[in-house]
Amino acid sequence: MPDAPVPAPDIAAELAGLIARRDQAGLRKALAPWLAQDLAPHLAGFSPEQLATLFRCAQREVAAQTFGYLPGATQRRLLKLLSQEQAAQLLEALPPDDRTAFLQGLPLEVAMQLLSLLSPQERDVAKTLLAYPEHSVGRMMTLDFVAIRADGTVADALAHIRHEGFDRETLNVIYIVDEDGRLADDVRVRRLLLAEPATPLRELLDGNAPALTAGDDRETALREFRHYDRAVLPVVDEARRIIGIVTADDMLDVASEEATEDIQKLGGSESLDEPYSTIPLFRMVKKRATWLVVLFLGEMLTASAMAFFEDEIAKAVVLALFVPLVISSGGNAGSQAATLVIRALALGEFGLKDWWRVMRRELVAGLSLGVILGVVGFARIAVWAQFTDLYGPHWLLVASAVGSSLVGIVLWGSLAGSMLPLVLKRAGLDPATSSAPFVATLVDVTGLVIYFSVAWLFLRGVLL
């Protein structure tokens, strides 16, 4: 992060010196004022051996947090150099959700070996979290929450919190469960603190407890978080038993990753799944080439369509001049419509059943946009024709053909662009796949057919 505050830019050199001298006290002192996320980027140039020394000397909590911010490859090399006991300590000190993220990046046998280093209790936690599908809410949750029955008083609840809740990730909310462990309600701790201690806990409840389901996709979780404006939401299993919590700051990373994925797909490439600035060049080319070739194969149909109208082009070369202009307008209108619909779908603004409402809007919008571009296109040719002979004696017919076909092509582009994401979603595919280039390719071929057909109507017997 180039924007991060940097307390001491020469920290890397300072640490390297201390590591070389194995100055444990000096290292602890130098590390003390650093936040793990600010420190990690400075460690990029260190060898795994240097890091191993650093991590052996650092306090366990600092080491674990910093470990969480190192690149995956460095993490794996580092673990190999540490003793089993040191590796286990590091893993145990990682927050459970970070540990899940780390373990799921490993080959299965390595992950299993590391799991065996953990204490039985922590191993159970890790296995539970890893059992949920990738990108599910279950993978993201922490198990640090306080849940109590509603039978006692506020004083009982506070005593329980003091006993149980000290090292929990968040103390803001406690959860009320029934005798089967099912989530019944949530209560803000500050309401407990404000209430008379002898008040029965039940009197503070409102019977309302929004929750996520562990098997839910993280995109669903994101929508729920935005809907409820909460700093933390509980996670329940299918029987509505509370099994964990997810915090809003973790959702920020999800929001960013999901947006990146959608944006990259919209730009007409596979999602890179790693930062643009660090992805190996070959892997990036592979991800981009796939879609580029698919689009190229689709676009080849334009050559066939053009060949079909070769005679018309030979008779009236003037028609060929406007081919790029006309078909790109359809593509632009289509990519606008597709992008707007894809984003609205991602935000949950409407569902598949609303397709007719979307289509009606795009009919009107597409027709209006088509008329606007048609008029501009007509005017352009008409004005030019006053000053040049480029368009020949029949410029008025040419202008009419271009203008009219623009209306049809822009309308068609808007309809195709808005419906394609819905069709993809209906087929169980990601709507974001209907990228701007994808829609443009689709509309280019049909656009050519519309253009030459309209031109034939206007120009037959004259130029054609």
Identified binder of a second copy from the candidate list 372, 429, 457, 462, rule CB under 8 A: 372
CA distances 209 to 143, 157, 175, 224, 454, Å, are: 18, 18, 9, 12, 60
Q: Does 397 bind a second copy (CB under 8 A)?
A: no
Q: Does 306 bind a second copy (CB under 8 A)?
A: yes
Nearest to 425 by CA among 364, 344, 366, 317: 344
CB-nearer residue toward a second copy: 17 or 296: 296
Site for a second copy in 67-106 (CB under 8 A): none
- Which of 313, 382, 397, 464 is close enough to bind a second copy by CB under 8 A? 313
Residue 448 binds a second copy, judged by CB under 8 A? yes
- Here's the x/- map for a second copy, 106-135, by CB under 8 A: it reads as ------------------------------
Tell me the C-alpha distance between 8 and 17, whole Å: 15
Query: Binding to a second copy (CB under 8 A): which residues in 151-180?
Result: 162, 165-168, 170-172
Nearer to a second copy, 108 or 281 (CB): 281
Asked if residues 333 and 413 have their Cβ atoms less than 8 Å apart, the reply is yes
Interface with a second copy in residues 219-238 (CB under 8 A): 220, 222-232
Q: What is the nearest approach in angstroms of a second copy to the Cβ of residue 126? A: 20
Which residue, 94 or 115, has its beta carbon nearer to a second copy? 94
Minimum Å distance from CB 60 to a second copy? 15
Q: How far apart are CA 120 and CA 176, in angstroms?
A: 28
In the complex with a second copy, which residue's Cβ is closer, 248 or 396? 248
Pick the binder of a second copy from 194, 429, 457, 462 (CB under 8 A). 194
| Radius of gyration (C-alpha) of the chain in whole angstroms | 31
At residue 289, φ and ψ (nearest 5 deg) are -65, -40
Taking CB under 8 A as the criterion, which residues in 411-440 touch a second copy? Answer: 435-437, 440
**Interacting residues with a second copy between 23 and 62 (CB under 8 A):** 32-35, 37
Least CB distance to a second copy at residue 375 (A): 10
Specify the residue, 2 or 120, whose C-beta has the smaller distance to a second copy: 2
Judged by CB under 8 A, which of 202, 296, 453, 460 binds a second copy? 296
Pairing state of beta strands 147-148 and 173-177?
A: parallel
Output the CA torsion sign for 149, 130, 247, 260: negative
The reply to whether 354 sits near a second copy by the rule CB under 8 A is: yes
Q: Counting contacts by CB under 8 A, is residue 314 touching a second copy?
A: yes
Question: Contact region for a second copy (CB under 8 A) — 49-57, 78-86, 116-124, 297-305?
Answer: 297-305
Q: Does residue 8 belong to the site contacting a second copy (CB under 8 A)?
A: no
Residue closer to a second copy, measured from CB, 123 or 355: 355
The one-letter amino acid at 427:
A
Q: 458, 329, 459, 331: which is closest to 406 by C-alpha?
A: 329
Site track 250-289 with a second copy (rule: CB under 8 A), x = hit:
xxxx-xx--xx-xxx-xxxx--x--xxx---x--xx--xx
CB of 403 to a second copy, least distance (A): 12
Bridge partners for 335 per DSSP = none
CA distance 255 to 93: 26
Strand partners, 247: 232
Nearest distance from C-beta of residue 372 to a second copy, angstroms: 5
In sequence order, the β-bridge partners of residue 188 are 173
Q: Which stretch binds a second copy (CB under 8 A): 42-50, 118-126, 127-135, 201-209?
A: 201-209
**Residue 368 binds a second copy, judged by CB under 8 A:** yes
Residue 24 token pair = 């444990």
3-state per-residue secondary structure call for 377-430: HHHHHHHHHHHCCCCCCCHHHHHHHHHHHHHHHHHHHHHHHHHHHHHHHHCCCC
Calculate ∠ Cα 25-78-105, nearest 5°.
Answer: 135
Collapsed DSSP state (helix, strand, coil) of residue 462 = coil
Instruction: Report the run of H or E that residue 225 belongs to, with start and end.
Output: helix 218-228
Task: Write the CA distances from 460 to 270, 392, 454, 457, integer angstroms.
Answer: 45, 15, 10, 6
Please, are residues 35 and 6 in contact by the beta-carbon 8 Å criterion?
no
β-strands 212-213, 242-247 pairing: unpaired
CB nearer a second copy, residue 124 or residue 311: 311
- Does 344 bind a second copy (CB under 8 A)? Our answer is yes
